[in-house]
Structure 1
Amino acid sequence: MKVLRFIIGQILLALDFLTRPSLGKRSDEEQTKVNEQLKNYSLYQFSACPFCIKVRRVMRKLNLPIELRNANTDDELKAELKTLGGSSKVPCLRIGDTWMYESNDIIKYLEDKFPISK
């Protein structure tokens, strides 16, 4: 089962790389403001998790340089996610002391808070 999960994960990562959305465009001033707001944001994730990939794609589309924390390979991050966030599920968006789970909720929040002007 682990081998199959690994193979599927690698396929998902390759597809993500090949179909990656373009980086969202903002004025330099707007992007600087967004970057400043994102200083206390971090995304706890696993690199090959399909729901985490979905959130990272939206982050790229919205040009949101949120710190990525790989809770799959770092035991300290995994423990932090469980003890401070209350669950070991990923993806999890940490905004200061607030922990947000569920990829669709995270995406909706990011799209509402940091829209790209058309």
Structure 2
Amino acid sequence: MTDLTLYELSGCPYCATVRETLAELDLEYESVSVPRAHDERTEVEAVSGQTGVPVLVDEANGVEGMPESTDIVAYLEETYGDAS
């Protein structure tokens, strides 16, 4: 069981950037695919307050719904990278 959950959409370049960082850091995570239509993304909206993806949840560190790929990548590198 992993503490990391990534809400993502197939073909999303921002999601791909986050997935690449997760792979580089050798982190296990649960992937939750969201619907293409924003008005059907109720689960990700409940988690993060918005319908955009990617969104990261890190239960171990109290991150309940971090949006924005650049913020997620910086967080992952800071929290799980070599410098952590």
TM-score (structure 2 length as normaliser): 0.79
In the alignment, what sits opposite 1:113?
79
For this pair of structures, how many residues does the alignment match? 77
Given that 2:8 and 2:33 are in contact with CA atoms closer than 8 Å, whether structure 1 keeps it comes out as yes
Q: Name segments (4+ residues, structure 1) moved above 4 Å.
A: none
Which is bigger in relative contact order (C-alpha 8 A, separation at least 6)? 2
Q: Does 1:59 align with 2:22?
A: yes
Whether the 8 Å contact between 1:45 and 1:72 is mirrored in structure 2 is no
Indicate conservation of the 8 Å contact 1:92/1:100, yes or no. yes
Counterpart-to-counterpart distance in 1, 2:7 and 2:47? 12
Partner of 1:21: none
Select the structure of larger CA radius of gyration: 1
- What is aligned with 2:3? 40
Is the partner of 1:65 in helix, strand or coil?
coil
- Identical positions, percent: 31
Q: Which has the larger helix fraction? A: 1
What is the TM-score when the length of structure 1 is the normalising length?
Answer: 0.58
CA contact (8 A) 1:51 1:91 kept: yes
**Deviation, structure 1 residue 84:** 3.1
Match of 2:50 among 87, 90, 109: 87
| Corresponding residue for residue 66 of structure 2 | 100
Larger mean Cα displacement after TM superposition, 80-89 or 45-54: 80-89
